[in-house]
Amino acid sequence: MLINIQYRKKKIPVDFLECRKETLESNDEIKIFLDDNMEYDNTFKLSKHELEHYPIFKQLGFKRINDDLKRLGFKYQKNIRKIGHKGCWVGLHLKQDYGEDNERDD
């Protein structure tokens, strides 16, 4: 018990914290996908239907993607419609050139 208390009082080195942050970011699949393939603006909407055809959606599933997008500050609003489909994340959309560099599973 005494060891735990002493351990908690020690400060974690800044270099370690920076390295940890970089490692977490480099392994964040959703963040990497968003940075490479999305544009951001509060007027944009991205429907679940638009993402369903992409490998990352099929690999991770709706719940995981929704949880990660929520963690990154995007909210899924189930009553908003886009292209006749209900449910959108507000603030992002696919870049127009996504299909040129990445394969879709149609």
Mean pLDDT value of segment 8-37: 84
Q: Nearest-5° angle of CA 86, CA 87, CA 90? A: 135
Calculate mean pLDDT across residues 59-83. Answer: 90
Output the pTM of the full model: 0.67
Nearest to 89 by CA among 38, 55, 26, 53: 38
More confident residue, 2 or 74: 74
What pLDDT is stored for residue 103 in this prediction? 44
Q: Which tokens go with 93?
A: 């959309």
* Distance of alpha carbon 59 from alpha carbon 15, whole angstroms: 34
Strand-strand pairing, 76-82 and 85-94: antiparallel
